[in-house]
Every structure is written in structure tokens, then in C-alpha cells.
Amino acid sequence: MVWITGAAGGLGQGLVEAFAARGWRIAAAFHRQTTQRETAQIWPVPMDVTKPDQVRAGLAQILQRWGRVDVLVNNAGVVADRLSWRITAADWDRVLAVNLKGAFLCAQAALGPMLEQRDGHVINVASFAARSGPSGQASYAAAKAGLLGLTQSLAKEVGARNVRVNAVLPGVLPTPMTAALTAGPLREFAAANALGRLNSIAEVSGFIAVLAELRHVSGQFFQLDSRIARWC
């Protein structure tokens, strides 16, 4: 079964659909209101990924219902875009807490049963911002860069137990997180891609669902748009 955080968001809903289409049982974790309905295959789980007690409680419910966790997709994320001298300490803490600390807490929890069953896959949804450090996104870029470091450290720690850890950089998608972008910035993002266009939720979700089933890939970063930049 797959545990997806941030399942109420645009990409989160796409992930639920993509995994469901491949026959997975899904724990769709959400913090704010969700329209996802419970079925035999899909189980909405309320959870704040920044709260260790809620993460542990959510995992306990998942294990009680299904007995194991095969895949964790750390998809929960927020932004608070401001120039670095204008961002508040509270916003900085919130962005780091959801994007990085939350991913760590969920991975830490999921790795317990994964290591015991000697099988599992953690997939972290990162961002091109981790590579490029955009102006006005210092908190988000820092959090996502930390997520890439976490991905490789965990991959090294758990590989001997047949647990894989990878990260995906989806690109700019039509989600609530990007809804405030006007036509001008969207054109600029598209123009920065070699293909001259942005990615889609369906393609990213489908890729992650396929990646989840790969058995011999770990510690890798998969950029899913066509922006080209050097890895630092």
C-alpha cells in the first residue's frame, strides 16, 4: 500500500488517481479539507505532517488497517514567497516544517515497518528551486535543497535492507500552489524549458506511480520538466 501526504492538493489528487489506476491501496493523508471519499481502495487520513504525534498516530492507523507500508510519497508542501529580508520568522519556520521536517518525520515513521519487512520505497517531491535558488523563494529553496540531501542520506542508510529512497522534481504544475501566478511569470517558466512548455499533473503522477514500483533505483533525483542547469 502507498501512503501519500498532501493528498488534498493538486498533485496529491493526481497521485491518488495514478496509484489507484495501478491497483494500489492508498492512505491519502491530508491536513486541510479534502474532497476525497473513503472507498475500499482509498482511505483519507487527517494528519499534520509537522506534528510527530499525529504522524505516529496516522501510521498506527494505517498499519492497523493494512498491516504494512510499501511506499511513502512525501508530497505535502507550502510556499511563503517573499524577499529574504521581508519573510517573517513564522513563515520561514512553517515552510521548513512542512517541506522538510514533515518529510523527515513521515520517512522516519515509515522506515520502521519498511526495514522490518525488508522492502519499501520513500519518494520525496522536491523542486527545481533546490537547484536554482530563485529570488523570493529562499525558504522554499532551502527546504527543498535539504530534502535532496535527506534523500541521499536515507538511501545510504537503508539500502542494505532493500529500502529505496528517491526524489522527484516535478516542475511548475497547475496546482493551488501556483494559482496566484499571472500569465507573465507562467510564460517565463515555460520559456525556460527547452520544450517551451510546462509539465502536467497527470504525467508527473504517472511517473511517480511507475517509479514506486522500480526495485533497483535509489538515491536518485528525477527532474521531470525540460529546464537545463548544472548540478552544483
For the CA atoms of 106, 111, 117, 121, the dihedral, rounded to the nearest 10 degrees, stands at 70
Look up residue 182 and give its amino acid.
T
**Domain of residue 174, residue span:** 2-223
**What is this structure's pTM?**
0.92
Is the pLDDT at 18 greater than 80? The verdict is: yes
DSSP letter, residue 98: I
140 is annotated as an active-site residue: yes
| Total structural domains within the chain | 1
The answer to whether position 228 is within a domain reads: no
* DSSP-H helix ranges across 118-200: 129-132, 138-158, 183-191
Is the pLDDT at 44 greater than 80? The verdict is: yes
The answer to whether position 232 is within a domain reads: no
Is the pLDDT at 117 greater than 70? The verdict is: yes
What is the β-pairing status of strands 2-4 and 120-125?
Answer: unpaired
Task: Give helix 89-96 / helix 138-158 axis angle, nearest 10°.
Answer: 30
Is residue 73 within 8 Å of residue 2, measured between CB atoms? yes
Query: What CATH code is carried by the domain that includes residue 104?
Result: 3.40.50.720
Mean per-residue pLDDT, 76-89: 84
Is the pLDDT at 22 greater than 70? The verdict is: yes
For residue 82, what pLDDT band results from cuts at 50, 70 and 90?
A: confident
Q: What angle do CA 36, 206, 58 make, to 5 degrees?
A: 40
For residue 178, what pLDDT band results from cuts at 50, 70 and 90?
A: low
Is residue 41 within 8 Å of residue 20, measured between CB atoms? yes
| Choice among 137, 140, 151, 155 that is catalytic | 140
Q: What is the mean pLDDT of the chain?
A: 90
Summarised one tens digit per residue, pLDDT across range 123-177 is 999 998 767 766 667 888 899 999 999 999 999 999 999 999 999 999 888 666 6
Task: Give helix 138-158 / helix 102-117 axis angle, nearest 10°.
Answer: 10
The answer to whether position 231 is within a domain reads: no
- CB atoms under 10 Å from CB of 148, counted, come to 18
